[in-house]
Structure 1
């Protein structure tokens, strides 16, 4: 009789447990946002691999070893970046399946991703700053000012990584709101300033000739797109965090930011050959206004002029034009070699 009662009680308990459904909160704006960020990052990483391949095929010996090595390092960093993102999503989606409390403890891959992303961004901005330094004819003030901004963004990013490592609760980042705002607003500001300075210098190098100026305008558009794209993504991260600080939508966007940086840089580097080809197909030489160059106008003959280390012949139909047999140092710097 006693055994029968125990069996009946166990049967009732099992039946009761079968009727109980595990209630799991919706994960669309947490794990779902990170999953979408992983998909977007994977697509951008595929584009990065294609652009990296194109870069090395077309620039086997054209760029210096430093720039070619930096591109290889950036590709490796983006590969590690994808590994960390994949591990992070796997940790929340598989290892801690149906365990919403897992968001209170971030895996090690979150800190690794932040460090890799910051290093990636610092190197890419450094390449852009080096480009500005060369076409500005070694203006050290511009170099120092932009590097201060670059390192400031990196300092904010690394500080954010350290704070998250100390308190890995991703659903309670309210105490780090000021650091998140400083990090991404400074990032957007520095990227915008780099694009503006580069465009201003390129604009000052205009020669007055339609073909040369059109190439400069093309370089300006690439510079604007590079800075505008990354600045826009950083601003979107700030807006989404300000509007929805308790979900992971801003994190999902942040996961793809390093890929935007590298793809924008590779697009600029891979576009140089087409610009060079267009420039050489038109005249086979380089032409400039005399008023834009330090020329010697002491010669009474209208057909001969001397330009600092370069000999030129003045066009009889255009006495204000000099056709130079060798490219000037300033225009060579537009080729963005390291």
Structure 2
């Protein structure tokens, strides 16, 4: 490096990107731990769900590799070559692809959970609310692909920031809008399933809290990225926040999956109707209320089954979390003692 070469100030650009990569790696570790706990704690989940979880984790981890590569290339490989700081390395552009796939997968998962909610509450309005986030998810996915294809042909970093700025803004706006739409829709559905049981309503309140918090986290990250992009038009500062969003999406999905045991324990009890958000209705029984029902069986009106272990804790086989049927009523001993339909393990 010649003595006349001026070293640029990297605090507001690559320094921010470095901080984003470090925080992203930390959250990636948390997500990987949740991924491990999921496969350890829910071995009876369907192969489709397990494949989906593995698929999402792989893409999330790929982006972590890409952003780690780009920060290493800029700050280590070209440490004595500051002129290359304006060169758009391939990983800077293509890290958008795994983030796009991860975001679409997680948002699609929550949208599918809305679609598979209790059939009794479906309506044309529900279908419209599902179609809208699907359109947002599809639009963001298409723009993410376009960003990678267009950006791949641009080697000047500064020019890429300006040329791809409208697409980048649209990506974050669509992500935030989809997150808010999905969260609000789920809250409306859950709110309409209240019952006369305090325990059931407490579980509903917990589900609504989970929904709001997970939607707020991801939507907040996308909105923060959008605001920084608008306020600092010619800066890559927003990348530090953007690097974290994919990890947040994956962690929120894993938190929802791994919270099922806790929700099942809250739902445990005699004589009330429960409905999982991705299966049919389940009626819980105790061995004292129904001597014909063994400790490892329960009645289900649908394709999904599970077990009640020795501690009387229900474990779902392949569902996400629980909601409660609106207007559920306690059943008498006579109705409980009707011969149940035992369901084998699936």
TM-score by length of 2: 0.74
Q: Please name the residue that 1:43 is paired with.
A: 26
The yes-or-no answer on 1:25 pairing with 2:8 is: yes
Cα contact 2:272–2:329 (8 A) shared by 1:
no
User: In 1, distance between residues paired with 2:4 and 2:17?
Assistant: 26
User: How far apart are 1:22 and its partner, in Å?
Assistant: 4.7
Q: Please name the residue that 1:182 is paired with.
A: 170
Q: 1:146 aligns with which of 116, 121, 133?
A: 133
User: In 1, distance between residues paired with 2:95 and 2:329?
Assistant: 54
Q: 1:245 aligns with which of 226, 230, 233?
A: 233
Report the structure, 1 or 2, having the larger helix content: 1
User: In 2, distance between residues paired with 1:78 and 1:279?
Assistant: 33
User: In 1, distance between residues paired with 2:108 and 2:78?
Assistant: 39
For residues 124-139 of structure 1, the aligned pairs below 5 Å read: 124-137=106-119
**Distance change (3 Å), C-alpha of 1:179 and 1:158:** same
User: In 2, distance between residues paired with 1:99 and 1:154?
Assistant: 35
Q: Please name the residue that 1:322 is paired with.
A: 330
User: How far apart are 1:80 and its partner, in Å?
Assistant: 1.4
User: How far apart are 1:149 and its partner, in Å?
Assistant: 1.6
The yes-or-no answer on 1:64 pairing with 2:46 is: yes
Q: 1:166 aligns with which of 140, 153, 158?
A: 153
**Distance change (3 Å), C-alpha of 1:168 and 1:253:** farther
**Distance change (3 Å), C-alpha of 1:103 and 1:164:** farther
Cα contact 1:203–1:216 (8 A) shared by 2:
yes
User: How far apart are 1:140 and its partner, in Å?
Assistant: 4.2
For residues 1-338 of structure 1, the aligned pairs below 5 Å read: 20=3, 22-61=5-44, 63-137=45-119, 140-172=127-159, 173-280=161-268, 283-286=269-272, 321-323=329-331
Count residues in correspondence. Answer: 276
Unmatched segments (≥5 aa) in structure 2: 275-300, 302-327, 337-346
Cα contact 1:287–1:323 (8 A) shared by 2:
no
Q: CA-to-partner distance for each residue in 1:279-306, whole Å, 9 max, x for gaps?
A: 11xx233159xxxxxxxxxxxxxxxxxx
**Secondary structure of 1:232 counterpart:** helix
User: How far apart are 1:154 and its partner, in Å?
Assistant: 1.1
User: How far apart are 1:213 and its partner, in Å?
Assistant: 1.0
Runs (4+) of structure 1 exceeding 6 A deviation are none
User: How far apart are 1:191 and its partner, in Å?
Assistant: 0.7
Unmatched segments (≥5 aa) in structure 1: 1-16, 289-308, 310-319, 327-338
**Distance change (3 Å), C-alpha of 1:109 and 1:246:** same
Q: Please name the residue that 1:291 is paired with.
A: none
TM-score by length of 1: 0.76
User: In 2, distance between residues paired with 1:254 and 1:321?
Assistant: 47
**Secondary structure of 1:269 counterpart:** helix
Q: CA-to-partner distance for each residue in 1:95-119, whole Å, 9 max, x for gaps?
A: 2113333233212212331111111
User: How far apart are 1:175 and its partner, in Å?
Assistant: 3.0
Root-mean-square deviation (Å)? 2.3
Q: Please name the residue that 2:311 is paired with.
A: none
User: In 2, distance between residues paired with 1:169 and 1:200?
Assistant: 47
**Distance change (3 Å), C-alpha of 1:164 and 1:181:** same
**Distance change (3 Å), C-alpha of 1:64 and 1:22:** same
User: How far apart are 1:136 and its partner, in Å?
Assistant: 4.9
User: In 2, distance between residues paired with 1:101 and 1:234?
Assistant: 31
User: In 1, distance between residues paired with 2:82 and 2:104?
Assistant: 34
